Structure 1
């Protein structure tokens, strides 16, 4: 499956994609169904929805942006999966007000880059869990606190790094474009409070955002080597605290 693994995009998606695909494969085997129903909240232009549909699954994308949904429709058509991808306007806090979205209707729910921006992350997680069928999986990707602190410090913005470290929302200042960041422990607590078992935790972009782009783009073999390094470090707890993003896979008890 190559769509989410384009050279540059691969640094942001490879670890998440591998875990997600494995979770979908396990669900196929457990359910005895080749085609799963997947809900992608905040799925935008289909970075994950289209590759998931190419695996043969039905994907509903809920996103507040009409422009993103238009791009999703075009992308799905170009990939030959328009019949398996449906885009509808809405957001995770009003999830069950969206046409066709049902409680307990999905084998997997993707919630990538959403919790940072919603007013009530706990409610967002509860809605995602309520949309799952028994034994379903929630793929949760959110901004990591440690990565932001490290990035500001390495850029010489030491006061901003300290501000992010001590701020309850993990923000480094008024100019910070991200409203909220999380630790792995905080994300685990959100899933646990919603009744999910945490299956795995990965650090995403542990090194990728710190490496000069010119090095990755010009050095022979650098991209492949960096991808392998990211994969090797992703599940090691020691690196979760410095990852730009954190990916948590939660499983609903059957």
Structure 2
């Protein structure tokens, strides 16, 4: 059971950047709860920072452990959890994906979130393996990472054609030395990491297919534009044709036969 009036009232508001992932994740949590026969799940958010996903998940009534290397982020997480009234359901632990199983128990979680982590770790394959190691035998992994294609398109539309070509050809999908993102993925590469870690790959979603391309002033001033853009994002998310231009890619995967 969710707190304060049900799951729909707990949805993150007015954020196109997370809307698609949240819709998918909320449904995955519901399915996982039904599969396990438990209303309250144990959820791990590795690299979860200040709780952008952890706190809304806790407001659905689940127990969430956030592992993050930043003490400042964990302090902000604690404050956000208190403001949301879910302090009893959110626990922050200092650590990183490399040493994940040293700070959380193996096979202890029904769902593991690994959002915005693989771009920055030294070894993405190890990062996925560690996340999988924290999953219970029938658990679900939610993986979100930056997309190469979205970066190429963004640089080209900004008129930075040399940088766009560099991102297209670079093994890590970087557009140059000034690129703040160390690594980007395509759908094949991301799903391969998941499959190699022993999981069954589920749906792949393109995230922020249009949201980063539409002028903000249009969304802010045109009546109903935000809601229609959200509907468009949700409709395009699962269509493979749009994965190549999405800013991020999201993969759901499952341990075991479920």
Query: What TM bracket, shorter-length normalisation?
Result: over 0.9
Q: SS at 1:5's partner residue?
A: coil
Counterpart position of 1:39: 44
Of 18-27 and 118-127, the range deviating more from structure 2: 18-27
The alpha-carbon deviation at position 140 of structure 1 amounts to 0.2
Counterpart CA distance in 2 for 1:235 and 1:32 is 28
Aligned 8 A contact 1:4 1:47 in 2: no
Q: What RMSD over aligned residues (CA atoms) do the two structures have, in Å?
A: 0.9
Aligned-pair distance for 1:151? 0.3
Pair 1:5 & 2:12 matched = yes
1:237 matched residue in structure 2: 240
Provide TM-score, normalisation by structure 2: 0.95
Instruction: Work out whether 1:73 is the aligned partner of 2:78.
Output: yes
Stretches of structure 2 lacking an aligned partner (at least 5 in a row): 1-7
Task: Give the 5 Å matches for 1:1-254.
Answer: 1-2=8-9, 5-7=12-14, 9=15, 11-98=16-103, 101-254=104-257
Where 2:163 maps in the other structure, the secondary structure is: helix
Asked if the contact 1:137/1:249 (under 8 Å) is kept, the reply is yes
- The number of residues matched between the two structures is 250
Q: How far, CA to CA, are the matches of 2:68 and 2:17 in structure 1?
A: 20
SS at match of 1:161: helix
Shift of 1:6: 2.1
Structure 2 vs 1, CA of residues 123 and 43 (structure 1 numbering), >3 Å: closer, same or farther? same
**Which runs of at least 4 in structure 1 moved beyond 6 Å after TM superposition?**
none
Residue in structure 1 matched with residue 4 of structure 2 by the alignment: none
Q: Measure the CA separation in 1 of the matches of 2:256 and 2:203.
A: 15
Q: What residue ranges of structure 1 are gaps of 5+ in the alignment?
A: none
Equivalent-residue separation in structure 1 for 2:43 and 2:232 (angstroms)? 30
